[in-house]
Amino acid sequence: MKIPRLTDTTLRDGDHAVSHSYTPEMVRTIVRNLDEAGVRIIEVSHGSGLNGSTIQQGFSTHSEFDLIKVAVETAKQAKIASLFVPGIGTSDELREAAEIGISVIRIAVHCTEADVTEQYFRLAKELGLEAVGFLMMSHTQPANVLVEQAKLMESYGADCVYVVDSAGALVQSGVRERVSALKEALTIEVGFHAHNNLGLAIGNTMTALEAGADQIDGTLRGLGAGAGNAPSEVLVAVLNKMNLDTGINLSILMDVAEEVVAPLMETPIVIDRDNLSSGYAGVYNSFLLHVRHAAEKFGVKASEIMEELGKRNAVAGQEDWILDVAVELAEKKGLKV
């Protein structure tokens, strides 16, 4: 097996879990530690990508460009990455992030909509950025569709395409099929991004590596949307045991996860009923806190909302459907809306 490149996305995926409340001080501390530990890529942006500070996705308490600037200034070795979702971000924000000094942009779309990314891949390459494609909600499509979509991204100039298990809904056979199909069809690198709704974040990441993945994602303590991600420190420990030396210092990662990141969590991230129902129904993980808000407002169960969102095939960016579903469920129960 190949030694993978690990991207730590505590400061991007984890942004959902802290309700977009990262401060420049937190970013400085986390980046300093990750950088010292030898993590090569650190992702920093709103959880929903550049310009994600909205009612729909949740407003940030601090300007994400200020946070990215702190990250760029703090990192001595590591490259800073940001996430970009077309429609949430526009070329303007991509340019601004590049100006501040990010080196990698990860361009994310629902896994059937790759053709909207062309404009942004071309711009990213013009700006001299490494450009990674993110096929979100990859569990919803079979391997052949993902291959088609990944090839479009490759043709636009992508340096790598990720199979993204946004809902934490894939089991190992599903990961193996998808990653190996992409490996076979593409000449560029392939990545895998896990969520832990079914308790498989680490296991699925290892399966992806067995299937040939070149890049993987983790977050400190698993701090990420919904059920969280594969914890970076656990990934490094497991890779060490497999004699795959990433060169990352495990003890620094363990310390920062324990002493800096764990205290940021309002409650520990566990596979509770809401997270399990979300993964089981195949619902985008960043919906969790919005679903809980709607459940409380309209007096319905979060897991019922999850189930219905799964039936309706909601995709990333459709937090407004949560309200719609909650209102309908409340009406059905005869609750006053």
Partner 1 sequence: MSKIKAAILGSGNIGTDLMYKILKNEGNMELALVAGIDPDSEGLARAQAKGIRTSHHGIAAILEDPEIKIVFDATSAKAHKLNAQSLRVKGKLAIDMTPAAIGPFVVPTVNMKEHIESMNVNLISCGGQATTPLVHAVNRVVPVHYAEVITTAASVSIGPGTRQNVDEFVRTTANAVQQVGGAKLARAIPVFNPAEPPINMTNSVYAVIKEEFDEGAVISSVQSIVAEISSYVPGYRLKGIPFIDYRETPWGRLPTVVIMNEVAGDGDFFPTYAGNLDIMTASAYKVGDLYAAHFLGSKEVSR
C-alpha pair distances (Å), 294 with each of 13, 20, 228, 301, 324: 22, 18, 21, 9, 9
- Cα separation of 88 and 86, whole Å? 6
Nearest to 162 by CA among 117, 125, 213, 118: 213
Cβ atoms within 10 Å, residue 243: 8
Q: Is 334 in the site for partner 1 (CB under 8 A)?
A: no
Nearer to partner 1, 3 or 116 (CB): 116
The partner residues of 219 in beta bridges, in order of sequence, read: 231
Stretch that binds partner 1, among 55-63, 160-168, 223-231, 254-262 (CB under 8 A): 55-63
| Helix intervals (H) in the chain | 13-17, 24-37, 64-74, 91-100, 118-126, 143-156, 172-185, 201-210, 232-241, 250-256, 273-281, 288-298, 302-311, 319-332
Active-site position among 16, 20, 46, 195:
16
Of residues 255-314, those binding partner 1 (CB under 8 A): 297, 312-314
- Cα separation of 151 and 115, whole Å? 10
Q: Is 251 in the site for partner 1 (CB under 8 A)?
A: no
Stretch that binds partner 1, among 83-91, 191-199, 261-269, 275-283 (CB under 8 A): 83-91
Q: Is 126 in the site for partner 1 (CB under 8 A)?
A: no
Q: Is 47 in the site for partner 1 (CB under 8 A)?
A: no
- Output the CA torsion 84→88→91→95 (10° steps): -50
Of residues 313-332, those binding partner 1 (CB under 8 A): 313-315, 317-318, 320-321, 323-324, 327-328, 331
Q: Is 59 in the site for partner 1 (CB under 8 A)?
A: yes
Nearer to partner 1, 192 or 298 (CB): 298
Task: Based on the residue annotation, tell me whether 16 is a catalytic residue of this protein.
Answer: yes
Catalytic residue list: 16
Q: Tell me which residues touch partner 1 (CB under 8 A).
A: 53-56, 59, 86-88, 90-91, 110, 112-113, 115-116, 118-119, 297, 312-315, 317-318, 320-321, 323-324, 327-328, 331, 337
